[in-house]
Amino acid sequence: MIAPSSPVAIALVGCGSVSRLFYQPALRELRRHGLVNILAVVDPRADARNTLAAALGAAACTTLDEALALRPELVVIATPPAMHRAQAEAALAADCAVLCEKPLAAISVDADAIVTAASRSGRLLAAGHYKRFMPAHRALKTFIERETFGPLLDATLVEGGKFSWPAATDSFFQREQTPGGVLLDIGVHTLDLLRWWLGDPVDFTYADDALDGLEANALLSATFTSDANIRLRLSRDWRTENVYVFRFARATIHSRVNASNQLEITLEGLPMTLAAELREPLPGRPAPPTRALDKNPQAFIAQLVDVCAAIRESRAPFVPGIEGAHALRWVEACYNRRTPLPLH
């Protein structure tokens, strides 16, 4: 990643848990490196707004308009999905670049509208699918594309556990404000990764346990042009192994969820597993160990670095907004094809 030449002026919209737990430490670290200037935080709730503003040394704004008046270059949107469209359109109309948290919007029509608004304004739009920045996921993409261990035969991905996100209100669980459950919440990341690794699915089936509310368990089975069968199980009900297992012709690879710089590789015919930390490459000569690659929080920071660099270099970000729209469209397609899971 290339660092921008001067600090990017940022406004952070939404002072909920994701801002407090992820953006606050990430932005502070980037400011320490002179990469960002945090102008403002925005939230209608005074306590949340003032706490985060104090922590970041930024102006506390009640509305987005107040923050836009401070002329930020980048608006980071970390609010409930139903608010993303209006906020992104307003920021783009004010000539700001936008990094929008996942899902890009509550519904794909809104996501498309955001993408169109970005295109019309000529401003950068990035989707908050930071898991693409994880070294393990980048390595998997390489293994799949180059068939390093032969073709991918199948993959089983299980992710989730008892829900523990410190949701401040119940809006997260009300269909009117958040139109999806575990698939929209954590699954949108996984579907984005699957698309990135394998392209659009050729076919898929989907089942979940929602009654007239939001699903807590979901099962997806998909095929891709590579003929690989992918099975995904998501839960915010019960513990899972939290691992993606990729079975190639000559190796099986376990990638633990959020273990950003680790892979476990079992080579065909070798009765043992290599538990590997991913590091900067070694030269082909005797050399000391190299630096470990990004852990999960560092991968989150890497996305912000990329967006800031993309603004300075007038280039597209690593994960452009259209990718967020694609992932959301797949989520919606799943809901449209939904079959019920037994409740036991």
- Footprint on this chain of other proteins (rule: CB under 8 A): 158, 162-170, 172-175, 181-182, 209-217, 233, 235-241, 341-344
Instruction: Kindly state the smallest distance separating residue 160's Cβ from other proteins, in Å.
Output: 10
Instruction: Kindly state the smallest distance separating residue 304's Cβ from other proteins, in Å.
Output: 27
Q: Who's near 214: CB < 8 A, 6+ residues apart?
A: 173, 175, 178, 180, 181, 182
Closer to other proteins at the Cβ: 151 or 213? 213
Output the CA angle 280-284-289, nearest 5 degrees.
40
Closer to other proteins at the Cβ: 122 or 166? 166
Element (H, E) at 59: strand 59-61
Closer to other proteins at the Cβ: 255 or 298? 255
Instruction: Kindly state the smallest distance separating residue 71's Cβ from other proteins, in Å.
Output: 36
Closer to other proteins at the Cβ: 291 or 344? 344
Closer to other proteins at the Cβ: 86 or 158? 158
Instruction: Kindly state the smallest distance separating residue 170's Cβ from other proteins, in Å.
Output: 5
Instruction: Kindly state the smallest distance separating residue 243's Cβ from other proteins, in Å.
Output: 10
3-state secondary structure at position 262: strand
Contact present, 236 and 161 (Cβ < 8 Å)? yes
CA separation for the pair 305, 311 (Å, rounded): 10
Instruction: Kindly state the smallest distance separating residue 278's Cβ from other proteins, in Å.
Output: 26
Tokens of residue 121, six digits: 């304004």
CA separation for the pair 291, 72 (Å, rounded): 35
Contact present, 44 and 62 (Cβ < 8 Å)? yes
Cis bond before residue 103 (omega within 30° of 0): yes
Instruction: Kindly state the smallest distance separating residue 286's Cβ from other proteins, in Å.
Output: 26
CA separation for the pair 217, 193 (Å, rounded): 19
Contact present, 284 and 64 (Cβ < 8 Å)? no
Contact present, 221 and 231 (Cβ < 8 Å)? yes
Closer to other proteins at the Cβ: 63 or 171? 171
Closer to other proteins at the Cβ: 257 or 309? 257
CA separation for the pair 150, 212 (Å, rounded): 44
